[in-house]
Amino acid sequence: MQFWPWDQRPWRYPRDTDDSRRYFGRCAELGLTGLIVVDELAFQGTALEEEGERYALEALLRRLDPAFRARVSVTRPDSVETLLAHRERLPNMRIQAPHHSLFADREWAYGKIGSAAFHVPPLRPAEEVRRMQALAARGSIDIVVSFHAPHRLPDKYGSEPIPGEFTPKAGYSAVEVAYMYTLTKLGIETGCRCHCAGPAEHLGLDAGEIRVGNEANLVIVEEDEGLPEQNIHVTGSAGRGVWKVDPSGWHTMAKVTPLVGERLKYRVSKTLLRGREVFDRSRDRFTHADVRALQASDTALQD
């Protein structure tokens, strides 16, 4: 189950009629896992926009049923610390962070791609981004996700108002680079824990770690040679041996990201899903494979 900000009660919703806890409890009874994105829509575009997550999290913590297996997505280090303080009371809660909260601070992103850096929730200051990285490194963040928000180039730079929509469009394409960039910035151990082991544990899957009996969902990565970048007039080539975030080669049509041009220490060579090769970089080949849909039984949903 996904609970985006528009799916949740406002933070000041009357407590005597707030049915959120009952609803979360019903999800737990059905054996469902959940994603809860924390933000307060009522504050967007106001002077309190920066504090929307804090108010929304305060309301969520009094509503969340301890039995509900939910990953709570936050973008601020203070929010992570608050969730950690409630972990004993909420043993089934996992802390999630989107990639932009770890790698893209506001000043840096707007300096690189201008108005296209617009994001909801808003990008945070550099100091908060550094604290988020430190929290991930010490194991306080369970899951890191791409928070993939694909938009075409004209939509990311459009300025003409569109009723009912953000202008420009909010968010970035990240699905093709988030894992490699996390490995580069946070290292193999933290990257694999947050992108692989953490999500598998939350979903109750026999995956996420290389272990006998687990599904053979594997990513084979290459490590760069560590060569310094040289001017083309010195080397005679354009960045040979230097890997960078290059959206021009992405398969998605959404190619706008503040990570463009950033060095990569790792890149994916092959991907295997349940032991079957589904991606091969050397041939730029993707192979479709069956995926599994998880849902509650029809009987349970009717109860």
Q: Take residue 3 and report the two structure tokens written for it.
A: 């609970």
- Give me the residues paired with residue 276 across strands: 273
**In this structure, are residues 144 and 182 in contact, taking their beta carbons and an 8 Å threshold?**
yes
Q: Domains of the chain by range and CATH?
A: 74-215 (3.20.20.140)
Q: Compute the residue count for the chain.
A: 303
The residue with greater pLDDT, 165 or 182, is 182
d(CA 87, CA 66): 10
More confident position, 243 or 167: 243
One DSSP character per residue, 159-178 reads -S--TTS-SSPP----TTTH
Per-residue pLDDT, 167: 81
Q: Does residue 64 carry a pLDDT above 90?
A: yes
Query: In whole angstroms, what separates CA 109 from the centre of its chain?
Result: 17
pLDDT in the model for residue 117: 94
pLDDT at 143: 98
Q: How far apart (Å, rounded) are the C-alpha atoms in residues 146 and 97?
A: 9
Instruction: Using the structure block, give the residue that is written with the tokens 């060095």.
Output: 263
**pLDDT on residue 253:** 84
Judged against a pLDDT cut of 50, whether residue 184 lies above it is answered with yes
Total H helices, total E strands in the chain: 12, 9
At 220, list the tokens. 């084979």
Give the tokens for residue 50: 């920066």
pLDDT at position 59 is: 96
Q: What is the pLDDT of residue 238?
A: 61
Strand partners, 34: 70
- Digit-coded pLDDT (tens) for 104-139: 999 999 999 999 999 999 999 999 999 999 999 999
Say what the pLDDT of residue 225 is. Answer: 79
* Residue 33, helix vs strand vs coil: strand
Q: What is the rounded average pLDDT for all residues in the chain?
A: 90
Helices 126-137 and 178-186: crossing angle in degrees, nearest 10, is: 80
pLDDT score for 290: 80
Per-residue confidence band for 86, with pLDDT thresholds at 50, 70 and 90: very high
- For residue 98, give the 3-state DSSP assignment: strand
pLDDT confidence bin for 144, thresholds 50/70/90:
very high
* Residue 79, pLDDT score: 98
